[in-house]
A and B are shown apart, each in its own frame.
Chain A
């Protein structure tokens, strides 16, 4: 079946603009995660959603970052007033459930470049 998909694959934006990144998880997966991969910081957790529960936003680096998950499926990560330090690859992952043993399946990522 289809894996995790993300769009766009690449995004170039000017500093100060808002961007939206989309993630389509694997069908039936109840947990969804966003991570950021950057040269300086490595792979960092941003936010996760589990079913209809309130998301854990503890990894979001600033209040310019927000995310939502509609209908327990598709998720959108929004970055407002982008800064150059936001340049990174944003990875989405989903897992069947919320257990710590569950494998997370990763999408190919969105490469964001802020000029």
Chain B
């Protein structure tokens, strides 16, 4: 069984500050990992994904994430927060052997202060 833990249901940063959203996973097989963003009253949009290629993955809007197998982590970062980054972020894992359904973490709501 797979699981995803996102530490911190709410994270607040100042505009221009570093964004760090934490994600740890458990999986019995090499995982595929994803970060999705959800803006208010909208569906989920893919930010980036790790699928066993480069461990440092770059996504849209200046976000990136690093896969660390030894730490079973896939933390999301952005060097400088923008007001438009305020949203809810979900980390997810899929196991191709289990049919590609996504198992999501609980989500982290990012607030950006001016």
Contacts and interface: CB of A to CB of B under 8 A. Distances in A.
Interface residues of A, number: 27
Contacts of B94: 100
Interface string A92-115: 010100111111111111000000
Contact of A48 (B92, B100, B104): B100
| Interface bracket on B | 20 to 34
Given A43-B90, A99-B96, A48 B101 contact: yes
B101 A59 contact: yes
Contact of A99 (B42, B100, B103): B100
B4 to A, nearest CB: 10
B44 interface: yes
Interface string A42-62: 111100101000001001000
**Residue among A42, A50, A103, A107 having the largest count of chain B Cβ atoms under 10 Å:** A42
Interface stretch (B17-25, B45-53, B62-70, B75-83): B45-53
Contacts of A101: 32, 49, 51, 96
Interface of A: 4, 31, 33, 35, 42-45, 48, 50, 56, 59, 91, 93, 95, 98-109
7 contacts: A31-B100, A35-B102, A91-B44, A100-B94, A100-B96, A104-B100, A108-B41
